[in-house]
Amino acid sequence: MSVLVNKDSKVIVQGFTGSEGSFHAHQMIEYGTDVVGGVTPGKGGTYHLDLPVFNTVEEAVTKTGADVSIIFVPPAFAADAIMEAAQAGIKVIVCITEGIPVKDMVAAKHYIKDRNVTLIGPNCPGVITPGEAKVGIMPGFVFKSGRIGIVSKSGTLTYEAADQIVKAGLGISTAIGIGGDPIIGTPTKEAVEMLMNDPETDAIVMIGEIGGNYEAVASKYIRETGNQKPVVGFIAGQTAPAGRRMGHAGAIVGGADDTAAAKMKIMRESGIHVVESPAEIGDAMVKALQEAGINA
Amino acid sequence: MNIHEYQAKDILKSYGVRIQEGIVADTPEEAVAAAKRLTEETGTSWHVIKAQIHAGGRGKGGGVKLAKNLKQVKEIADQILGMTLVTHQTGPEGKLVGKVLVAQDVYYPGDSEPKEFYLSILLDRAKGQNVIMASTEGGMDIEEVAEKSPEKIIKEWIDPAVGLEPFQARKIAFAFGLEGEAFKEMVKFVTNLYKAYLDTDSSMFEINPVLKTSDNKILAVDAKVDLDDNALFRHKDLAALRDISEEDPLEVEASKSNLNYVKLDGNVGCMVNGAGLAMATMDIIKLSGGEPANFLDVGGGANAQTVEAGFRLILQDPNVKAILINIFGGIVRCDRVANGVVEAYKNIGDIRVPIIVRLQGTNAEEGARIIDESGLKVFSAISLKEAADKVKQVLA
């Protein structure tokens, strides 16, 4: 089954005709994702990459039956694009855009709250179910199909983890890049929960970073639901000084609880296999699977 | 983006938030003139001279002083201007003071005792809503209050759809134990403060202390405002408040090349694509026996120009004994990055520290071959483990 996206997902691209949107739409199509069209207000009725362009998401959904959207709209208009997709009945929205004002995201998050929609991101690499659908900007060849789920705040660190998993002779069910912004649609716990409930996922890699309490909340969930599947965890930013923002808008140590050390401690106490070094993710997963007697 | 107290107070005042009035000065003479004008405008006889730097704890560091006459205004301004102020937030190297705020004395005696409170507005990330935090322990660090007497902090979450409701402002004023004129003033203060926060796209307001004066006025004695960098594109006036002298010169240079750089104190420089992997690379350096000299995210397109700009930044730091470049080439190919590294190296010429280049992803072997055959003092690695081992070797 995998989660969020699969071979049946019909994907539209918001910001389709822009340079980022065009480039990555092309990459997604090459990967085999069922991209059914795109939205660029004012360019409706035209064709781009041999696919129809629509003025509104609503029209795109009506005409194509799209259920997934990926957003490459510039930061000033991205929150609006999220709300438009939710209003049009899209079920999974993946927002790649980096640099959306926090105030806009507060509004967007509130707007989509009671609608039947899952938002991934913003400021994320997207979601990939290897061999079925890539709805994101990740290099597809790194991700080989298998039974390990990945949840990560970071882009390239997700690729790093996937690469190690694959080189360890394993594969990936679905990798979810949840995003590095202060406000994101699907926090760590919700993403981990999806993979815990996925019959095609045997174990999970959970990668976090400094700032916020998402990893702590996820750890509590994992412990309280009885550690159903092995989880290997890593927190980036053990050497980050307090009060300084490390690239991602959300990556800042504000208090004692959101340091890497504090998060790793909570994760360990919750039965997660925490690695100190990001180079050990693959080995730790092999070991965790052996301990649990899983042949993934 | 952080701004100075005097700039923050200007913003608050424009939203009808009462402030401790003041005039900014660059020289002791200007400070005296400012003090005279303040006395005319507000009737204050004493003045407070406050160092303007982007860091808290100025009072304890000797950057805030009371002057009881114009002679003292001049003496104190002379003393504070040009001093290197060290507080718990500046780090041991401190910050050079270039401006002082000459402010009115608001703790004058009167019918009732002056009383200090604490107010801040920030984003509650978990709830995705703004929250107003209020405490009767004005003047104290909120972290300390949270630790010792958390019951003294009240929080009001703001519904994004309807905004701050009047009852919420009243709840805060009641919690402060205010009545009569002071109560009304506090409700107005909180209401206007939240409006200012929203309109300016701020990510944090901290007013500590908020003062009830002896004649029942409510005003901001200090103001810390942090603006959302991502929203500055729609606030040209606020973007102009940036004070580059408050920032690390290397970080300013980096931002010109669209590089995301944070200067640190270690001995191993690093250059990485992606913020998460950059932090993870810093951690690898530490685990290999070094200390990271910087955070540097070169973003998605790691080409010869960005790599060269990155090299030049890192090499300006005299503490750097080795450099680790860690690029996960996905969309960008490793052979192109490798060529970029070699080209940048040759352009710079005199690089005296060993460089480890770890390229993984598309065409990783080809990238490693280019590095190895370049004849330069550069070591290639493909896996992260290999990179960590090579850092260990060059530091040994």
pLDDT above 90: residue A245: no
Q: How far apart are CA A150 and CA A268, in angstroms?
A: 18
Give how far A45 is from chain B: nearest CA, Å.
30
> Which pLDDT value is given to residue B55?
87
Token pair 């984003």 is found at B123
**Nearest Cβ partner of A247 from B231, B286, B297?**
B297
Q: Among B118, B194, B261, B345, which one carries the catalytic annotation?
A: B118
ipTM of model: 0.89
Give how far B384 is from chain A: nearest CA, Å.
5
**DSSP secondary structure code for residue B159 in this structure:** B
For A243, the closest chain B residue by CA position comes to B89
Q: Which residues of chain B are modeled with pLDDT < 70?
A: 300-302, 331
Q: How far apart are CA A94 and CA A68, in angstroms?
A: 8
For B293, the closest chain A residue by CA position comes to A239
- DSSP alpha helix (H) spans, A197-259: 214-224
Please check whether residue B133 is in contact with residue B119, taking contact to mean a CB–CB distance below 8 angstroms: yes
Whether B295 sits inside 8 A of A247 (CB atoms) is yes
Q: Tell me the chain B residues in contact with residue A157 when contact means C-beta distances shorter than 8 Å.
A: 274, 276-277, 280
**Nearest Cβ partner of B361 from A104, A139, A167?**
A139
Is B360 touching A (CB cutoff 8 A)? yes
Whether A236 sits inside 8 A of B279 (CB atoms) is yes
**Nearest Cβ partner of A142 from B295, B330, B385?**
B330
What part of B 175-204 touches A (C-beta under 8 Å)? 198, 201, 203
User: A13-35 pLDDT, tens per residue?
Assistant: 999 999 999 999 999 999 999 99
> Which pLDDT value is given to residue B93?
85
Give how far A258 is from chain B: nearest CA, Å.
12
> Which pLDDT value is given to residue B147?
81
Is B129 touching A (CB cutoff 8 A)? yes
Give how far A63 is from chain B: nearest CA, Å.
32
Is B362 touching A (CB cutoff 8 A)? yes
> Which pLDDT value is given to residue A1?
58
Mutation target among B133, B206, B273, B283 for the A interface, most CBs of A within 10 A:
B283
Whether B123 sits inside 8 A of A183 (CB atoms) is yes
Whether A240 sits inside 8 A of B282 (CB atoms) is yes
Q: Tell me the chain A residues in contact with residue B264 when contact means C-beta distances shorter than 8 Å.
A: 239, 241
The residues, any chain, with a CB within 8 Å of residue B251's CB and separated by 6 or more, are B261, B262, B263
Q: What is the mean pLDDT of residues A213-224?
A: 95
Please check whether residue A195 is in contact with residue A3, taking contact to mean a CB–CB distance below 8 angstroms: yes
Please check whether residue B355 is in contact with residue B378, taking contact to mean a CB–CB distance below 8 angstroms: yes
Q: Tell me the chain B residues in contact with residue A180 when contact means C-beta distances shorter than 8 Å.
A: 275-276
C-alpha gyration radius of chain A: 19
Is B295 touching A (CB cutoff 8 A)? yes
pLDDT above 80: residue A196: yes
pTM of the model: 0.92
- Token representation of residue A30: 């090459």
Please check whether residue B69 is in contact with residue B60, taking contact to mean a CB–CB distance below 8 angstroms: no
pLDDT above 70: residue A253: no
Helix (H, G, I), strand (E, B), or coil: what is residue B117?
strand
Q: What is the mean pLDDT of residues A237-255?
A: 75
pLDDT above 90: residue A79: yes
Whether A180 sits inside 8 A of B276 (CB atoms) is yes
Whether A160 sits inside 8 A of B331 (CB atoms) is no
User: Residue B51: CA atoms inside 13 Å, Cβ hemisphere, count?
Assistant: 30
Q: Tell me the chain B residues in contact with residue A167 when contact means C-beta distances shorter than 8 Å.
A: 383
Q: How far apart are CA A264 and CA A274, in angstroms?
A: 7
Whether A241 sits inside 8 A of B260 (CB atoms) is no
pLDDT band at A40 (very low <50, low <70, confident <90, very high): very high
Percent of chain A predicted with pLDDT > 90: 89
Q: How many CB atoms lie within 10 A of CB B346?
A: 12
pLDDT above 90: residue A256: no
Helix (H, G, I), strand (E, B), or coil: what is residue A44?
coil
Mutation target among B230, B264, B325, B365 for the A interface, most CBs of A within 10 A:
B230
pLDDT above 80: residue A119: yes
User: B148-196 pLDDT, tens per residue?
Assistant: 888 889 999 999 999 999 999 999 999 999 999 999 999 999 999 999 9
- The domains found in chain A, sorted by start residue, are 11-120 (3.40.50.720), 138-292 (3.40.50.261)
Whether A109 sits inside 8 A of B128 (CB atoms) is yes
Mutation target among A102, A150, A259 for the B interface, most CBs of B within 10 A:
A102
